[in-house]
Amino acid sequence: MIAKIIPNFNLSQIYRSGQCFRMSEREEGIYTVISGKRYLELQQKGEECLFDCSETEFREYWKGYFDLENDYGCYKLQINPNDKYLTEAAAFGCGIRILRQDLWEMLVSFIISQQNHIGRIKRCIENICRQYGEKCINSRKESYYAFPRPEALAVLADDALKECNLGYRSKYVVQAARSVASGKTNLEMIERMSYRKAREELLKLFGVGEKVADCICLFALHHLQAFPVDTHIRQAMQTHYKRGFPNRRYRGYQGVMQQYIFYYELFYRQNHKEQILLDSENTAK
């Protein structure tokens, strides 16, 4: 177990931010993360975070995974002080980081995310990991499952993953696996591409649209200029940025602002709306 002091970092917010689907809260304040075959247990007290791994593993993998070398305080300082909405959103999600996750895992995860909610996405991914991933053992001598390699899914029939509750998304995942396993889609090459080129390559895959491509670019390739637009973001744009989001001001890190907005809309705004509705119902009574 190693301890690190990390400002602008909140495990609970990262866990709920919708970018990582193999992160779980084992018990209150204690989280687990599975990335590929790696397993990590960690907890936080204020700015102190405890990582249950060696210093070498932290330095070589988890430090980059959690993007700990980036100063997120600087991003927040660049927010237009006259933009009350974005200022509030960044304050509400002040501990969010853009994770550096595996490209193949994010490709599959965000294909599954289409017309789906976070809880169900996690269950779908856990299902395919248990069915097709390698069984591993963690430090507690408990079993967990690695994310399946493309070759394990490429041999399946198009509808095989319906058994894992993927529904119509099954054929998208299987065909993506075939493309990667055959070399038609070269993930290593995509990792070296610019944001624009990488996005173009991802859009060639069956079942990958603009939002999914941008999510992959942001959460796997760490192209911070990617700005995925889903229902929550679209609603925020229509309400607060009728002339469009000020991309020029936040050039190069629009994706960080997107995450603040997404998290704010998903939790604070939604809870606020539900409370207003509850209050109005109580008043009517």
* pLDDT tens, position by position, 70-82: 999 999 999 999 9
Over 60: is that where the pLDDT of 274 sits? no
Average pLDDT over residues 87-106: 97
Q: Is 15 or 281 the better-scoring residue by pLDDT?
A: 15
Write the DSSP assignment of the chain as a string of letters: -EEEE-SS--HHHHHHSSS-SSEEEEETTEEEEEETTEEEEEEEETTEEEESS-HHHIIIIIHHHTTTTS-HHHHHHTS-TT-HHHHHHHHHTTT-------HHHHHHHHHHTTT--HHHHHHHHHHHHHHHSPEEE-TTS-EEEPPPPHHHHHTS-TTGGGGGT-TTHHHHHHHHHHHHHHTSS-HHHHHTS-HHHHHHHHHTSTT--HHHHHHHHHHTS--TT-----HHHHHHHHHH-TT---TTTTTT-HHHHHHHHHHIIIIIIHHHHHHHHHHHHHHH-
Q: Is the pLDDT of residue 181 over 90?
A: yes
The confidence band for 276, taking pLDDT boundaries of 50, 70 and 90, is very low
Averaged pLDDT for residues 95-120: 96
Q: What is the mean pLDDT of residues 237-259?
A: 96
Q: How confident is the model at residue 283 (pLDDT cuts 50, 70, 90)?
A: very low
pTM to 2 decimals? 0.92
pLDDT at 272: 59
pLDDT at 285: 42
Q: pLDDT for 146-170, tens place per residue?
A: 999 999 999 999 999 999 999 999 9
pLDDT value for 281: 42
Question: Active-site positions?
Answer: 211
* Statement: residue 135 has pLDDT above 90: yes
Q: What is the mean pLDDT of residues 245-269?
A: 94
pLDDT value at position 268?
A: 83
Mean of pLDDT values over 31-48 = 95
